[in-house]
Chains A and B, each alone.
Chain A
Amino acid sequence: MPLRSIHAFAGGVHPLGNKNTDVLPSIHLHGFREVELLMQQHIGPPCTCVVKPGDHVDVGTMVGRADKPMSVPIHSSISGTVKEVHYVVSANGSPVEAVRIESDFQHTINPFCKPPKVESFEDFIQMIRDSGLVGLGGAAFPTYIKLNPPKNKMPDTLIVNAAECEPYITADYRQICEHPDDIIDGILEVMKWLEIPKTIIGVEDNKPLVTRIFSHEIKKRVYKTGKHPDIEVKTLKTIYPQGAEKMLIYTLTGRKVPPGKLPIDVHTLVMNVSTLRFIGLYLKEGIPLTRKRMTLDGSALNTPGNFIVPIGARIEDIIEAAGGTREEPKKIIMGGAMMGVALDRIDHGIIKANNAILVFGSEETTLPPESPCIRCARCVASCPMDLIPCGIDKATRLRDPEMLEKYHVMDCIECGCCTYACPSKRFLTQSIKNGKVIVRAERARIKKEQELLAASENKGGPAS
């Protein structure tokens, strides 16, 4: 019987799970006519494009080279010919370089792709970087950076995030059901090279099957190797945002990550199951990150389900290949219902961190009008970061940076709980994000002012 964690964070909300697709096995989608690979698919500087129109590429051929630190390469997800290298507007609204590749439908794999040989920690980190791996839970943080912490801050616990607390999304769930062995391989590799003594897998208690699969898989390892692999499965209360890094670390270990700090500051490493599965798979096959498992759901779709799609495939093509729509979509969301981005166009190519496309029809699409705050404090009670969202909202509308700082606006994790809970239907999360912009601008202004002051003091002494 897996242990239940004893810590619980304050706040959180209980949106309808809507895990409609959890029993549907993942389907490989092939036959995309073209893909569009953005040159920035991670947090960090963009890649340099190394192909030009007319070049032939195979699956796994590098098209974007990572020149700068914090950057990972991008590989072609189909075989075919490069048609165009141009600038497009990404889903978040910023311009980014993109490579358009037309498929030859051959699906030939780059001959240089072979299982890597890992003999040292440095090899391991290089291998992770070359694979183009980023955090697949949604943050898209380059994994090689995460796995290479400063020497004085080595992690003592690996936390595997199998919470998947966002409504609708079941991609990680299917990943666990279909490839538990690869996940355990990935965990063992990370534990081995980073010398982490202990791993905890956190699973929400609405997914008992996942708990059983992992327990079974661990038993198999014990049988095979004769020793227990120090991996523990813990069930978590089903509550959103249970899968948020800080909340997960607290519930599983009782450690609190201070504001502005990273999990590594409390000696923990948090990795998503899909990221770990990729590590396990890459060591066996050597094909870089070119495919992504995603959940397609929403009332406007004919056949919701889980699909494995090449990175860069256009959203409209994916929806079509996955069975098309049965009514005119009213809202299309890239990501989950709580934190995803509503799109205005659907010709974007998907990027590494995308894990769901929600196609909402008229029954799910609502945009109730805002009404005045009645101070019911539901936002305060729901905030997992113990902030006062209605106060931040007020400060943002007053454009008062001092008041925003007083309310600790920068500590918001933008999980959306406050907006979900608000009976006045106020756009609290949006307001808080705007508040962060105001605070950043004010901080920059103060810094510049101080610099100017310092410069003028240096120039003119008391003599002038």
Chain B
Amino acid sequence: MKLQVSHSPHVRDKATTQSIMRDVIIALLPATFAGWYYFGIRAVFITLLSISSCILFEYICRKVMKRNNTIGDLSAVVTGLLLAMNLPVSLPPYMVVIGAAFAIVVVKQMFGGLGNNFVNPAIAARIFLVIAFPKAMTSWTVMTGSWFSIKSVDAVSSATPLTQIHTAEAPSLWNLFIGNKAGCIGEVCILALLIGALYLILRHVIRIWIPMAYIGTFFLLVFFFGKTNVLHFTGDLATLSGWGDLFYESGYMLLSGGLMLGAWFMATDYVTSPLTTKGKLIFGMGCGILTFLIRYYGNMIEGVSFSIILMNILTPHIDEWTMGKPFGEVKENAKV
């Protein structure tokens, strides 16, 4: 009789790395579909190109490094999908491939593959592309031709809602919410993003701490220190007449740009965010403060990407600071 000998425990939870990645993909799909709906068949093409390049680069990398094949864990698919969602639809295809190569080869595999990258590959690739191809990455388009038209010339250049605030062309909050605006493929439809986020929360894939701290901090900062903030409010606070004006700017700021995509799907990336609840709260608050500072006082548009990547770099330190005491540890037992 041949018996298997292994260390306890002898029963395991059903969740695997692959099942978690699958859940993330499922959660990203509503926003992806919404992006396809708003930006036409070219968006479908960009998405599939990004995903397939990521898978291909992952495969080649592992082969060259003589490591085991890791396509099966689906992490490359998640990176590809997230990257596509972070790109404007008019981006030339070769730039998409360069972005995918940067994300997988440089950021992920060169640091040791899944679990060892110190920044989120998709965000790093987006920042890389913004710096390398600033014009292409910041020309926002709205679709004017037919849905099946593959050429980007059918699209006309438009300003991103973030630069339109307080102007006559600013989209309504409702249009911002459902995604009828200019922006990257995956970031426009806030409704779809929130549906995906709810799925992740309900499936216990992510915890609410990072998005809550991120969005909450950002909201409060805009509410109190934005351009039409509560301190400069001209209406009547006591009766809250004109409360819509009061919340307009903070609401507008929350619903535009990549904030929702970033807060729910990229700041919550396991590998590059802290382990403990306390750490996650600090991480989220840091992201919120940096996003506010960059959006209001910086001249770069990449508020969300830069704040997340900066906090990614701080993550090991946050882990260090927030390492709690073991259960039952009291002061006199604590090691100095």
Binding site for B on A (CB under 8 A): 9-10, 13, 15-16, 167, 246, 250, 256-261, 328-333, 335, 337-346, 358, 360, 364-368, 371-378, 380, 384-388, 390-391, 405-408, 411, 414, 416, 419-425, 427, 429-430, 433
Contact = CB atoms under 8 A, between A and B. Distances in A.
Nearest to A330: B4
A377 to B, nearest CB: 4
B66 interface: no
Given A328-B1, A374-B114, A429-B7, A259 B12 contact: no
B9 A330 contact: no
Given A377-B275, A385-B326, 16 more contacts: A259-B329, A331-B4, A331-B5, A333-B8, A337-B8, A338-B8, A338-B10, A342-B10, A364-B10, A366-B12, A374-B20, A388-B276, A391-B319, A411-B326, A420-B13, A427-B7
B10 A360 contact: yes
B73 interface: yes
Contacts of A386: 324-327
Given A372-B114, A375-B115, A423-B17, A380 B276 contact: yes
A342 B326 contact: no
Given A337-B9, A423-B13, A260 B327 contact: no
Which 9 residue pairs across A and B have the least CB separation, nearest first?
Answer: A416-B9, A430-B7, A372-B115, A256-B328, A411-B326, A338-B9, A423-B15, A377-B275, A376-B270
A334 B16 CA distance: 27
5 contacts: A340-B8, A365-B4, A423-B16, A423-B19, A424-B115
B121 to A, nearest CB: 13
Contacts of B333: 258-260
A333 B10 contact: yes
A50 B11 CA distance: 42
B114 A390 contact: no
Nearest to B15: A423
A366 B4 CA distance: 9
Contact of A342 (B5, B15, B324, B330): B5
A364 B9 CA distance: 12
A370 B279 CA distance: 26
Contact of B323 (A333, A388, A414, A433): A388
Contact of A374 (B13, B17, B319, B329): B17
Given A167-B11, A339-B9, A367-B4, A375 B327 contact: no
Contacts of B327: 9-10, 246, 250, 256, 259, 384-386, 411
Contact of A429 (B9, B323, B328): B9
A430 B319 CA distance: 23
Contacts of A385: 326-327
Main secondary structure of the interface of B (DSSP, over half): loop
A374 B11 contact: no
Interface string B287-331: 000000000000000000000000000000001000111111110
Interface string B44-88: 000000000000000000000000000001010000000000000
A360 to B, nearest CB: 7
Contacts of A256: 327-328, 330
A332 B5 CA distance: 8
A365 to B, nearest CB: 6
Interface string B121-133: 0000000000000
B239 interface: no
Nearest to A332: B3
A342 B11 contact: no
B151 interface: no
B8 A339 contact: yes
Contacts of A407: 323
Contacts of A368: 12, 16
A422 B73 CA distance: 15
A343 B3 contact: yes
Contacts of A257: 328
A358 B10 contact: yes
Nearest to B276: A380
Contacts of B319: 391
Contacts of B20: 374, 376, 423
A433 B16 CA distance: 23
A342 B12 contact: no
B251 interface: no
A258 B332 CA distance: 10
A210 to B, nearest CB: 23
Nearest to A338: B9
B159 interface: no
Interface string B87-126: 0000000000000000000000000011110000000000
Nearest to B7: A430
Contacts of A258: 328-330, 333
B194 to A, nearest CB: 22
Contact of B11 (A259, A338, A346): A338
A407 B7 CA distance: 22
Contacts of A15: 9, 11, 13
A346 B2 CA distance: 11
A174 B106 CA distance: 60
B270 A429 contact: no
A329 B11 CA distance: 16
Given A339-B9, A372-B115, A344 B326 contact: no
B12 A341 contact: no
A228 B324 CA distance: 43
A331 B114 CA distance: 32
Nearest to A256: B328
A374 B115 contact: yes
Contact of B10 (A10, A340, A421): A340
B6 A367 contact: yes
Contacts of B275: 375, 377, 380, 388, 390-391
Contacts of A388: 275-276, 323
A411 B333 CA distance: 12
Contacts of B325: 386, 408
Instruction: Name the residue among B5, B270, B326 with the largest chain A CB count within 10 angstroms.
Output: B326
Contact of A372 (B1, B113, B328): B113
